[in-house]
Structures are given as C-alpha cells and as structure tokens.
C-alpha cells in the first residue's frame, strides 16, 4: 500500500469524524425535517398545485361554512372568516383552555359538542383532518409560539417525561433517537429531530393526510410499545412538549413527508 493512499485514508477517517461531530452539533440548531427531503418532495410541499393536502384544505373550507346541530350554526357563525380569525392560531396549540389541555383536534371537537351540539368527529376521520388542515394552513410561515406558562407547566413537564421515558420491547425513548442521534442514520434514512411543525402532513407512505398523533403512534409501533390512545391526555402532553421544543420554527402546515 503506497504512502499516498494511506494518507488519503487517514484524511477520510478524519473527515468522517468531523461529519459525526457536526451531526451531533446540528441537533442544537433546530431543523425542520423538510431539510432532509428530496427536492421533488420539497417541491410537492411548496407548490399548492402539487400538494395533495390542498384537497383537505378545500374540504375544510367547505366544512367551516356548514351549519350543524339544533342551533344550526357553523364554525363561521362564531369565528367568521377562517383566513382572518384563525391566523396564527395553530402555532399556539396545544393550549390550556378553561383548565384543560386542548390540542387543535380536541378543541375543534369541544366546539362541535358544546357550541354546535353536533357529534364529535373521530380522530383521523376525513372531516376532522380537513378542519385541522384549514386552520393550520392559516399559520403557514409563522413561528411556533408555544411558551412555558404557569397554566401549562405541569403538562409540559409531564410531556418532557414522556419524551425521555424508555418504552416498548426495544426499550427506547423519543430522546434517544430524536435528540441524541438526530442527523445520524437509522437504516437508510436520516433521523429527523422530530419537530411537529408541519402537521397535519400528507405522508406519501400513508397515501393520505394524518395528524401528529398518528405519527407518534407510528414511532410507538416502531419501538413495540403500547400506543397512547388518540385524544388521550398523554398524547396532548407529549404534543405540547414537542411544540414547545420546536418553538420558533416556522409552521409548514400542511406539509408533505415521505
């Protein structure tokens, strides 16, 4: 083996070492998993004529106007134009409202039950996703503004505990992948930092729109843990912690992910 070859090998190992360090260092700087996508997938998210999630947004626009229940009221009856009243709203959720931690989905259902006196929408149903999408898109490009307050501190701490808690047969916590190993690879794919800044997302693997809770349950399947239920307090606490952890990142909803 020539000396030159050896030297170049040493240089390569050295470069690899730097790459590893920077991968760890990158987790300090918040990064949307958008940055990890192919240019084709980025284009699909950015161009509304390509983004399939726009179908749900348009459906949501229709549902926003739909009058329901014995009082015959629509979302628009109270909230007016969705483009004005819901601007920046999704960037503040989950939020403590009247002593209860509400995610965007659970707040929509609370409105439906209490104000419209209409039946709850099921999690991951087309209608609930459509309403979430039409509200979330009004915050597109705005930074996530979830803050630690006296009201939500206990929920947030609980969410942080869930994030750091090992679970499932693989005995892994969220943090072990998405904090300690973000930017490294799991099989062929890069591990994202796991920021919920683009939900609801059109995930190509799902062939449909899905909520952050569906995505969290995917990870729970991955580590072979028992899933948190849709709409459970645990889910809301974890979601709150994740949004707080992603604070300042611009919202991309409705996003596209592979």
Partner 1 sequence: MSKTSRTSITVPATAKKGSIIEIRAIAQHDMESGFRYTEAGKLIPREIIRVFTCTYNQVEVFKADFYPGIGANPLIIFTTIASESGTIECKWVGDDGYEAASQARITVS
Candidate residues 55, 85, 87, 227; the one interacting with partner 1 per rule CB under 8 A? 55
Candidate residues 54, 113, 118, 220; the one interacting with partner 1 per rule CB under 8 A? 54
Interacting span for partner 1 (CB under 8 A) from 48-56, 166-174, 186-194, 240-248: 48-56
Assess 230 for contact with partner 1 (CB under 8 A): no
**CB-hemisphere CA count at 13 Å for 167?**
21
Assess 204 for contact with partner 1 (CB under 8 A): yes
Q: Is 179 helix (H, G, I), strand (E, B) or coil?
A: coil
Alpha-carbon span 123 to 120, nearest angstrom: 9
Q: Rounded to the nearest whole angstrom, what is the least distance from the CB of residue 52 to partner 1 in the complex?
A: 4
Q: Give yes or no for a contact between 107 and 116, defined as CB atoms under 8 angstroms apart.
A: no
Interacting span for partner 1 (CB under 8 A) from 52-60, 78-86, 141-149, 191-199: 52-60
Nearer to partner 1, 58 or 232 (CB): 58
Q: Which pairing describes strands 100-102 and 189-190: parallel, antiparallel, or unpaired?
A: unpaired
Q: Rounded to the nearest whole angstrom, what is the least distance from the CB of residue 247 to partner 1 in the complex?
A: 32
Q: Is 219 a catalytic residue?
A: yes
- What are the phi and psi torsion angles at 194 (to 5°)? 75, 45
Q: Give yes or no for a contact between 203 and 257, defined as CB atoms under 8 angstroms apart.
A: yes
Enumerate residues 6+ apart whose C-beta is below 8 A from 196.
212, 215, 239, 242, 243, 246
In the chain, count H helices and then E strands.
11, 7
Candidate residues 175, 208, 227, 230; the one interacting with partner 1 per rule CB under 8 A? 208
Nearer to partner 1, 57 or 249 (CB): 57
Contact footprint for partner 1 (CB under 8 A): 49-50, 52, 54-55, 58-59, 204, 207-208
Q: Which of the residues are catalytic? A: 219
């Amino acid at each position: 083996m020539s000396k030159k070859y050896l030297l170049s090998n040493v240089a390569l190992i050295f470069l690899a070492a730097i790459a590893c360090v920077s991968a760890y260092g990158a987790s300090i700087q918040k990064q949307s998993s958008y940055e990890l996508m192919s240019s084709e997938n980025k284009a699909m998210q950015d161009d509304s004529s390509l983004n399939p999630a726009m179908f749900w947004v348009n459906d949501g626009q229709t549902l926003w106007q739909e009058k329901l229940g014995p009082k015959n009221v629509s979302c628009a009856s109270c909230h007016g134009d969705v483009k004005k009243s819901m601007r920046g709203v999704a960037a503040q959720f989950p939020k403590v409202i009247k002593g209860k931690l509400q995610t965007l989905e659970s707040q929509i259902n609370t409105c439906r039950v209490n104000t419209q006196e209409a039946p709850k929408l099921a999690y991951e149903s087309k209608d609930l996703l459509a309403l979430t999408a039409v509200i979330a898109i009004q915050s597109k490009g705005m930074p996530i503004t979830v803050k630690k307050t006296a009201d939500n501190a206990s929920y947030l701490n609980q969410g942080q505990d869930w994030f750091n808690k090992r679970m499932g047969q693989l005995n892994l916590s969220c943090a072990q992948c998405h904090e300690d190993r973000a930017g490294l690879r799991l099989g062929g794919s890069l591990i994202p930092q796991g920021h919920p800044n683009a939900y609801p997302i059109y995930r190509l693997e799902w062939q449909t729109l899905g909520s952050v809770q569906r995505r969290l349950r995917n990870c729970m399947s991955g580590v072979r843990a028992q899933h948190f239920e849709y709409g459970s307090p645990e889910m809301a606490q974890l979601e709150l912690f994740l949004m707080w952890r992603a604070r300042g990142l611009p919202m991309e909803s409705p996003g596209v992910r592979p």
